[in-house]
Amino acid sequence: MQKIDSATGSEIRSHEWDGIQELNTPLPRWWLWTFLVTVVWSVAYWVVMPAWPMIGSYTKGVLNWSQRDNVSAELKLTAQARRPIANRLVAALPADIESDPQMLEFALASGRAVFKDNCAPCHGSGAQGFVGYPNLNDDDWLWGGSLGEIEQTIRYGVRNANDKSRFSEMPAFVKLGTLNRTQVADTVEFVLSLSGQAHSADAAGRGSVLFAEHCASCHGEGGQGDRTQGAPNLTDQIWLHGKSRIALTTVISNARNGSMPAWGERLSAADVRALAVYVHSLGGGEPEPGQ
Ligand code: HEC
Ligand code: HEC
């Protein structure tokens, strides 16, 4: 005999424990159907799509769908689409690149992307540089600021094992015993005077004699620098290693001689060219020599 609970209107089940009885409240129909549909859906999904992990592999599903394959197919298509313009960029003369808006846009966009991936760790994401790593936005160049010179620096690098790498070595004057600490202190005062910083005139006077003898061959008589040797201009306000007495003393005593990899060994010719165009565009780019 079915009993009905008067408060809820639900059926009361026939069992009873210590006077406690249970109402019969079945799941709502819509809920049950939704549940059954999801069960059927999941089984169908296992069959069609990649689903179950197995040792060293997984069930591929009848569609054989793969996000990874889709992405690599897309990358291949993009690379194919880029090839003609990338080839054109590699073959172009510097002057042609800047007068061809489509090629210029392509070079700047890919140069910016390759720069973020490869150069930002040392030169900063805005190419602003760090101590020991030159700022590439300014018009102060160690090795030259024309498109061709920048490209050569990037392709072959600086002070590395590549035969064509940019090369020069400032001597470590104290380590080598060429100058003693007092003499270095004098050259430091002279270098401070070159860039108009506070200095002791007496010491700078002695330093200028030492400079002419030991430093001018690379940094120039007046300290204006020499790009054929990557020797920085010491008369401007831009410093690779710092302008303080301590920084100057350390550089002159021990030398730094920073190095950069030869990117032509790692990146495609089109990427190197695009990087050169990008760096050249950052603000300090110079015209080609002879133009
Ligand atoms: C491992 C650190 C490092 C990375 C990475 C690096 N550079 Fe350099 N780069 C240097 C150093 C150090 C110098 C300065 C060398 C010297 O003292 O002459 C330099 C110099 C340069 C110069 C010459 C600047 C001038 O004033 O003449 C250019 C141009 C340049 N880098 C571009 C790049 C580009 C483009 C990339 C990315 C493909 C890159 N660098 C990645 C360390 C790095
Ligand atoms: C053989 C060439 C050579 C000679 C000689 C030489 N230098 Fe240098 N000097 C360089 C180069 C190259 C650099 C940059 C190297 C680097 O990447 O650290 C440099 C860097 C410096 C710097 C750091 C500049 C900055 O922007 O931070 C100072 C200061 C300096 N030299 C002073 C001197 C003084 C003083 C002497 C003489 C006692 C001297 N140099 C002799 C080649 C030379």
**Domain regions of the chain by residue span:** 3-58, 79-165+260-280, 181-254
Same fold, 79-165+260-280 and 181-254: yes
Look at the block and give the residue holding tokens 């400079």.
211
CA–CA separation, 239 and 251 (whole Å):
11
Ligand 1, atom 6, residue with closest C-alpha: 119
Residue 280 Cα to ligand 2 midpoint, Å, equals 25
Mutate to test the pocket of ligand 2, among 184, 218, 243 (most ligand atoms within 8 A of CB): 218
Please choose from 170, 218, 256, 260 the residue to mutate so as to test ligand 1's pocket, defined by most ligand atoms within 8 A of CB.
260
Q: What is the CATH number of domain 79-165+260-280?
A: 1.10.760.10
Name the closest ligand to CA 154. 1
136 Cβ closer than 6 Å to some ligand 1 atom: yes
Ligand 2 in contact with 256 (CB < 6 A)?
A: yes
Class of domain 181-254 (CATH, top level): mainly alpha
How confident is the model at residue 291, as a pLDDT? 65
Map residue 20 onto helix, strand or coil. strand
CA 272 to chain centre: 14
> Per the confidence metrics, is the pTM higher than 0.85?
no
CA distances from 54 to 50, 51, 58, 59 (A): 11, 10, 5, 7
Within the chain, residue ranges assigned H as helices are 29-48, 67-91, 94-99, 101-118, 120-123, 147-156, 181-194, 201-214, 216-219, 245-254, 269-280
Hey, which of 173, 219, 228, 238 would you mutate to test ligand 2's pocket, going by the most ligand atoms within 8 Å of its Cβ?
219
Taking the CA of residue 169 as reference, the ligand 2 atom at the shortest distance is: 1
What single letter denotes the amino acid at residue 137? Answer: N
Question: What was the pLDDT predicted at 69?
Answer: 92
Can you give the pLDDT of all 291 residues of the chain as single tens digits? 788 999 988 899 989 999 999 999 889 999 999 999 999 999 999 999 999 999 999 999 999 999 999 999 999 999 899 999 999 999 998 888 988 999 999 999 999 999 999 999 999 999 999 999 999 999 999 999 999 999 999 999 999 999 999 999 999 999 999 999 999 999 999 999 999 999 999 999 999 999 999 999 999 999 999 999 999 999 999 999 999 999 999 999 999 999 999 999 999 999 999 999 999 999 899 998 876
- CA torsion sign for 204, 205, 206, 208 is positive
**Residues 276/127, Cβ–Cβ less than 8 Å:** no
What backbone phi and psi angles, to 5 degrees, belong to 56?
A: 75, 0
What's the one-letter identity of residue 189?
A: E
